[in-house]
Structure 1
Amino acid sequence: MPADLLTTTGLLRSVFRRHAAGVAVVTARGEDGPVGFTATSLTSVSAEPPLFSFGVGTGASSWPAISEAGYVGVHVLGEHQQELAATFARSGADRFAPPTVWREGPEGVPVLGGVSAWLVGRIVARVPAGDHRLVIAEVVHGDATGTGRPLLYHQGSFHRLGG
């Protein structure tokens, strides 16, 4: 890899470590069962139609299922869910085993319990973006009635708002 590419890759990582981001878990129904991962790239894209997006690495264990899925779930985590965020970020973890609380939701998408809010979206695009894909989905179901303060990711670790 050329030195300038290493420098710009390092610069990107360094800058985004300073960017506080909300923490979400993305889920989908896979051929062999539910899949999911922790994401800090969740973004509202459009109000009309109601679209959201997230990025997923093509080398991620969840990518094969998400590359084929028609629907995905996104779950906004609360500050009390640091361990859940860590579980879904951990490679090789059985993410849906206890103590993870989940159920089959709309369109067969795994829906996590106790989250601040969740959406199920119909995937409308998977856009190549380097070693990732930007997945765009249209909202079809959800619940925004959860309570609590958001979980944040900053400087490589999870944080509570204001602390």
Structure 2
Amino acid sequence: MTASPDLGTARTASPDLLKSVFRQHAAGVAVITAQRGGRPVGFTATSLNSVAADPPLVSFGIGTGSSSWPVVAETRHIGVHILGEHQQDLAATFARSGADRFGAPTRWRTGPEGVPILDGVLAWLVCEVVARVPAGESDHRIVLGRVVTGDPAGAGRPLLYHQGRFNALRD
């Protein structure tokens, strides 16, 4: 096999290139929650990944400028919530800067290890934070969590993020 000498529309690596490419990548939508001193925080994440099965590990990215970062930076446990297609409004609330994310109509309770658990999600996990790895120009962290407990029994179909919008699966 030989490489084509004409790379066509190939572009030099840049933040805009990365954003353009990942607009083509459909991702599941999750909400990450944490709590410290009775103050719950949370944010919408499309960077959630399953890292390993044994031990069970997940990862996600967070900007250090995020309002949730000071709590995520210090907390021992976080919640991971897989959203359903019926939860576009919840995803938007947790993505919006300055929103009262845990006020009505958000339904939640304090779960294992004091982690805020959102009601009505497809599945949730509580994870112990095992690492916070610097990424980018030191303005992001990759958080690695070891799964402690969870519940996969929610009903519905997953919410996706594609082309800058929340979407449902098509039949």
Q: TM-score range by the shorter chain?
A: over 0.9
Name 2:75's counterpart in structure 1: 69
Aligned length: 158
Name 2:109's counterpart in structure 1: 103
Find the aligned partners of 1:162 and 1:30 in 2 and give their Cα distance. Answer: 39
1:2-151 equivalences in 2 (<5 Å): 8-31=14-37, 33-130=39-136, 131-151=139-159
Name 1:162's counterpart in structure 2: 170
Give the AA of the match of 1:151. Answer: L
Give the AA of the match of 2:154. Answer: G
User: 1:11 deviation in Å?
Assistant: 0.2
Secondary structure (helix, strand or coil) at the match of 1:12 reads helix
Find the aligned partners of 1:145 and 1:113 in 2 and give their Cα distance. Answer: 12
Give the AA of the match of 1:149. Answer: R
Find the aligned partners of 1:47 and 1:8 in 2 and give their Cα distance. Answer: 33
1:97-125, CA deviations, whole angstroms, 9 ceiling, x for partnerless residues?
01000000000000000000000000000
1:72-91, CA deviations, whole angstroms, 9 ceiling, x for partnerless residues?
00000000000000000000
Secondary structure (helix, strand or coil) at the match of 1:14 reads helix
User: 1:162 deviation in Å?
Assistant: 1.3
User: 1:48 deviation in Å?
Assistant: 0.6
Gaps of 5+ in 2: 1-11
CA RMSD of aligned residues (A): 1.2
Secondary structure (helix, strand or coil) at the match of 1:15 reads helix
Find the aligned partners of 2:168 and 2:118 in 1 and give their Cα distance. Answer: 20
TM-score, scaled to structure 1: 0.94
Name 1:3's counterpart in structure 2: none
Find the aligned partners of 2:144 and 2:13 in 1 and give their Cα distance. Answer: 30
Name 1:153's counterpart in structure 2: 161
1:49-73, CA deviations, whole angstroms, 9 ceiling, x for partnerless residues?
0000000001000000000000000
Contact 1:31 1:65 (C-alpha < 8 Å) held by counterparts: no
Gaps of 5+ in 1: 1-5
Find the aligned partners of 1:141 and 1:95 in 2 and give their Cα distance. Answer: 23
